[in-house]
Amino acid sequence: MTKLGTKAVHAGVEPDPATGAIMTPIYQTTTYVQSAPGEHKGYEYSRSQNPTRHALEKSIASLENAKHGLCFSSGLGAIDAVVKMLKPGDEVISTNDLYGGSYRIFTKIFENFGIKFHFTDMNHVEKVNSLINDNTKLIWLETPTNPMMNIIDIKGVADLIKDKDILLAVDNTFATPILQSPMELGADIVMHSATKYLGGHSDVVMGALVVNDDELAKKLAFIQNSSGAVPGPQDCFLVLRGIKTLHLRMERHCQNGEVIANWLATNPAVKNVFWPGFEDHPNHDIAKVQMRGFGGMISFSLKEDSQEAAFEVLKKFQLFSLAESLGGVESLCGHPASMTHASIPREERLKVGLTDSLIRLSVGIEDSEDLIADLKQALKI
């Protein structure tokens, strides 16, 4: 089987047959000439099909060891397509620690259409089992979770529902296909915010889904085309370019993440560090089995547990840029309670440990010594 690094460089990409160009061209066109009605070269209209997007979809599917890939104009656009397969009365089980945008679209949009959502601690598979009933049609999980870095046993959840008519969808954004392969662990759908590590350069917004089942792929492609939340060819080109170095970037993200997590754990101003590479992480043993590295996402809380203390630290950073998003080559810092997870009620955030002082780091690929120096000066509280 072709190795991941080779797939990242070559999967889905072929020299342009017209010119021999080694890079996939940006097919900046809305429509395609037909020789007769219904007789064409596989492309009719760029909302439905575009050669640049097609190459990217094949690339992401290959990285995830899946048959079908579909790209969307954002990660939330991809999530939207999955939930649109459900109908009023259906129920969804999700983790109580997940991206605020996912929580918002579930509770503020789809609950209005009669879909019921349950949020539970998925660190323990038996808690998922207790919520399953005849109306359960989808289980949606993130692992590692955002922002508490919890690890969910994908195979354990998949085994729980293998004989039931329930889809398992996994948000693989934090781990990427380089560190984790949910399809091989029993997932039916894998989602990526390609805005993050797949693109990798903070210059494109995009989402992606991969599936193996042909009928499921047809349903999602119908929604993709009918709802129209598709990315443009320029954005697809940028993510194709980003994927070519994904394996190299993830290696550096992991190296830097380990150095910084261990340094934070010794800092007197820090109360807790959340990173799945620690042996005392609640599900470290599962992470070791289902992941090929622990990533560059880290959250930590302060001993002075207040929003004011967190803001003071965030204002002092010089290399870590205070910004939404993650997964770029540059290091970012954020305050989930007031930024990415502000849409989740405070009482719900506190239940999962998302305190007012929690800071999330997206560790980039800079020299780790410089990043440590920045943390050192910022944490002199």
Dig out the tokens for 109 from the structure.
């949009």
- The vertex-204 CA angle with 99 and 100, nearest 5°, equals 10
What does DSSP assign to residue 380?
Answer: -
Task: Give the N- to C-terminal CA distance of the chain in Å, as an integer.
Answer: 51
Backbone angles phi, psi at 122, to 5 degrees: -85, 5
Conformational region of residue 38, where left means phi above 0, alpha means psi within -120 to 50, and beta covers everything else: left
Active-site annotation, residues: 47, 99, 171, 196
The answer for residues whose C-beta is within 8 angstroms of residue 341's C-beta and 6 or more apart is 99, 100, 103, 147, 349, 354
Dig out the tokens for 69 from the structure.
């890939």
SS3 191: strand
Look up residue 342 and give its amino acid. Answer: A
Q: Helix H segments across 105-245?
A: 125-129, 154-160, 176-179, 214-227, 233-243
Whose structure tokens read 């492309």?
A: 43
Whose structure tokens read 């997940």?
A: 98
Q: How many helices (H) and strands (E) does the chain have?
A: 14, 12
Pairwise CA distance, residues 60 & 194, whole Å = 10
Whose structure tokens read 């890079």?
A: 23
Comparing CA positions, the residue from 279, 206, 171 lying closest to residue 59 is 206
Pairwise CA distance, residues 176 & 197, whole Å = 7
